[in-house]
Amino acid sequence: MEVLKKYKNQLVFHLFLNFAFALFITFASYYHLPLYTLSDISFYLFHFLALQFSIFGFLYFLSINKYLFRFLFPIVFLFFSCVAYWVYFQDIAISHSIIQVSLETKADIVMDLISIPFLLYLLSSIIALIFILKYYNKLKVNQLKSPLTILAIVAVFSYSLVENYRFGTFNRRLPYNVISSSKAYFEKNSLILKPIDQTIKANIDSLNVVFILGESVRADHLQLNGYQRKTMPLLSKRKNIISFPNAYTPLTYTAISVPQILTNATLTDDYSRPKYSLIDILNHAHIQTNWIGNQTPEKSYEIFIEQSRFQKIIDPLHSELSFQKDYDDKMLPVFKTLFKPNQNQFTILHMMGSHWWYETRYPDAFRKFQPVIKSKHIPSNTSEEMINAYDNTILYLDYFINEVIQLVEKQNSNTLVIYLADHGELLGEDNLWLHAQTGKASENPAMIIWYSEGFKEKHPETVLKLKQKQNAKTDLDFFFHSILNLYQIEGIEYNKKKVIF
Ligand SMILES: [Zn+2]
């Protein structure tokens, strides 16, 4: 009791400090979470408190030195408050691309972000800051001798303990995500690309390949592959469509799967040797390359977007973690203006697809299978709700691919639409959900090819070969070699055995 009395002021100060920090900064990362039952609310409440506890540790040690605290804390507090405002009001995702946007954009774009609500928010945090500093100046006791020091050591350790146990638990949330994203921005990519200095030629004219790069779609939930639910009513009615039920990749998350698909890397590559970029080769062969993406790029494949002759990222401030993310069909108007039937073109449409949280991926009209998930906390949803919501994303995929085909069909061109998911998804097998973990369903992505009448007339033997190969096991490293083969590329070696056309 005596001890408590002696350090009472200090204790109250840290409680107040952490309350203000949580209110103006930390809680922004939890504000948008869809939560439903008491158990998931308690889960995230605990999560939030544990995160704030770890911050307490860092703030405590900063507060030991008076000069350091008075100088550094206001900068830290106001900076993170500004970031938190955008998370609270726009649900923006803090990623390395956001850091890039903020560091590389001009002052006028930053000026646009400044609004009355923003200034009011900033003003409130300044008032809170004044109170914190006033209180801080009154503290007299030597803090290091305080029992709170032991608690602060535990708090700092809890941060590394949690992050070592499961990466991203804290690092994906404020304020840590600003630090980890900045680190990612300055990190070098491990993928080394081989420069092309030889002459490269495409021996084919007016071939359009539309590559729809999907996200987290497992092959066995496609009606085209015999799934008992009508998840693909539109594509099922179409002709000139082939689904490949046995595609395979052991690379079960976007950051490692996409670079493999778009280079000559094999599925088991260690990337010790430089790789050829497919986009780079196509550029050298004078094929128009376009990238339209609804995913905020990850460091590992950003280079392919930069290499594309045309680039457009839809809704760049929201990532897969935002609940206000635009739907994939926002890419269609851009695609429409780009598609030129009489030109050699290679267009990538990078979808948000079926990435968790499923309910953000499709509009209400596609909520056919019900009931759906209500909570971001997976254990709070039933298997039925999880699978229903997931299947609705497939229904939306059916609509999306069909829209692309319709657009292309009207032009009566020589076109292939290739849909390939970067990996599959686990839906409760062995009690595992989502991806980035091994399992039959996460390693078996969906793959669909549609060909135009014009393509069929020009290449009947290719269509026949595709049909013959439909049920064979298709490793995702087919893609690089098959595309070079399609355009009859000369000047670069590729593996003919991997060509599926
Ligand atoms: Zn992915």
Taking 80 as the threshold, does the pLDDT of residue 166 lie above it?
yes
- 397 CA to centre of ligand 1 in angstroms: 15
- For ligand 1, the distance from its centroid to the CA atom of residue 485, given in whole angstroms, is 26
How far apart are the CA of 144 and the centre of ligand 1, in A? 47
Average pLDDT estimate for 474-481? 96
223 and 111, same domain (yes or no): no
Per-residue pLDDT tens for 301-331? 999 999 999 999 998 888 888 898 999 999 9
* Cα 304 to the center of its chain, rounded Å: 16
Q: Identify whether residues 12 and 136 lie together within a single domain.
A: yes
Predicted pLDDT of residue 435: 87
pLDDT at 2: 66
Is 328 found in the same domain as 272? Answer: yes
What's the 428 CA to ligand 1 centre distance in angstroms? 18
Mean pLDDT of 366-385: 93
**CA dist., res. 66 & res. 120, Å (int):** 29
pLDDT category of residue 349 using cuts at 50, 70 and 90: very high
How would residue 449 be classed by pLDDT, with cut points 50, 70 and 90?
A: very high
Q: How far is the CA of 297 from the centre of ligand 1 (A)?
A: 11
Q: Same domain for 337 and 255?
A: yes
Question: Which residues, other chains included, contact 238 with Cβ-Cβ below 8 Å and sequence gap of 6+?
Answer: 402, 405, 450
If asked whether residues 19 and 150 sit together in one domain, one would say yes
Q: How far is the CA of 409 from the centre of ligand 1 (A)?
A: 28
Looking at 186, 219, 237, the residue that finishes a domain is: 186
Which pLDDT band, with edges at 50, 70 and 90, does 411 fall under? Answer: confident
Determine the average pLDDT of the residues in 273-293: 96
Q: How far is the CA of 352 from the centre of ligand 1 (A)?
A: 8
Question: Do 208 and 235 belong together in one domain?
Answer: yes
Last residue of a domain, one of 154, 186, 218: 186
Distance (Å) from CA 351 to ligand 1 centroid: 9
- Higher-pLDDT residue of 179 and 403 is 403
List all residues 6 or more positions away from 397 whose beta carbon is below 8 Å from its beta carbon.
Answer: 214, 217, 232, 351, 353, 354
Amino acid at 361: R
Residue range 58-74, pLDDT digits in tens:
999 999 988 999 999 99
Give residue 174's pLDDT. 92
Nearest to 365 by CA among 408, 329, 417, 407: 329
- Rounded distance from Cα 252 to ligand 1 centre (Å): 7
Task: Tell me if 191 is assigned to some domain.
Answer: no
The single-letter DSSP state of residue 314 is S
Listing DSSP states for 373-400 in one string gives ---SSGGGS-HHHHHHHHHHHHHHHHHH
Give dist(CA 20, CA 259) in Å, integer. 43
Domain boundary (132, 159, 186) is at 186
Q: Kindly state whether residue 471 falls inside one of the protein's structural domains.
A: yes
Q: What is the pLDDT of residue 448?
A: 98
What total number of domains does the chain contain?
2
Query: Does one domain contain both 146 and 235?
Result: no
Q: Answer yes or no: is 192 within a domain.
A: no
CA of 451 to the centre of ligand 1 (A): 25
In this prediction, residue 353 carries a pLDDT of 97
pLDDT grade for 419, boundaries at 50, 70 and 90: very high
pLDDT classification of 436: cutoffs 50, 70, 90: confident
Helices then strands (H, E): number in the chain? 19, 13
Determine contact, residues 293/350, Cβ cutoff 8 Å.
yes
Nearest to 490 by CA among 216, 286, 326, 337: 286
Sign of CA dihedral 22, 25, 31, 35: negative
Provide the residue range defining the domain that includes 340.
Answer: 203-498
Please tell me whether residues 373 and 413 are part of one structural domain: yes
> What value does the mean pLDDT of the chain take?
92
Cα 251 to middle of ligand 1, angstroms: 9
The three-point CA angle 469-347-299 to 5° equals 100
Question: Is the Cβ–Cβ distance between 476 and 272 less than 8 Å?
Answer: no
One-letter amino acid at 244 equals F
Are residue 24 and residue 78 in the same domain, yes or no?
yes
For residue 182, name the pLDDT band (cuts at 50, 70, 90): confident
Taking the alpha carbons at both ends of the chain, their separation in whole angstroms is: 80
pLDDT score at 91:
83
Examine residue 20 and state whether it is found in any structural domain, yes or no: yes
Poorest-pLDDT segment among 103-112, 266-275, 280-289, 403-412: 103-112
For 244-274, how does the pLDDT look when each residue is reduced to its tens digit (9 = 90+)?
999 999 999 898 999 999 999 999 988 889 9
Q: Please give the pLDDT value at position 412.
A: 77
Residues 170 and 218 in one domain: no
Q: Are residues 322 and 379 in the same domain?
A: yes
Q: Are 209 and 347 in contact (CB under 8 A)?
A: yes
Q: 482 in a domain, yes or no?
A: yes
197 located within any domain: no
**Contact (CB, 8 A) for 204 and 486:** yes
207 shares a domain with 179: no
Residue 108 has pLDDT above 60, yes or no: no
The closest alpha carbon to 220, from 373, 440, 419, belongs to: 440
pLDDT digits 0-9 by tens, 200-223: 999 998 899 999 999 999 999 999
> Quick check: bond before 245 cis, omega within 30?
no
CATH of the domain at 300: 3.40.720.10
The reported pLDDT for the residue numbered 105 is: 61
Asked if residue 227 is part of any domain, the answer here is: yes
Q: Does 434 fall in a domain?
A: yes
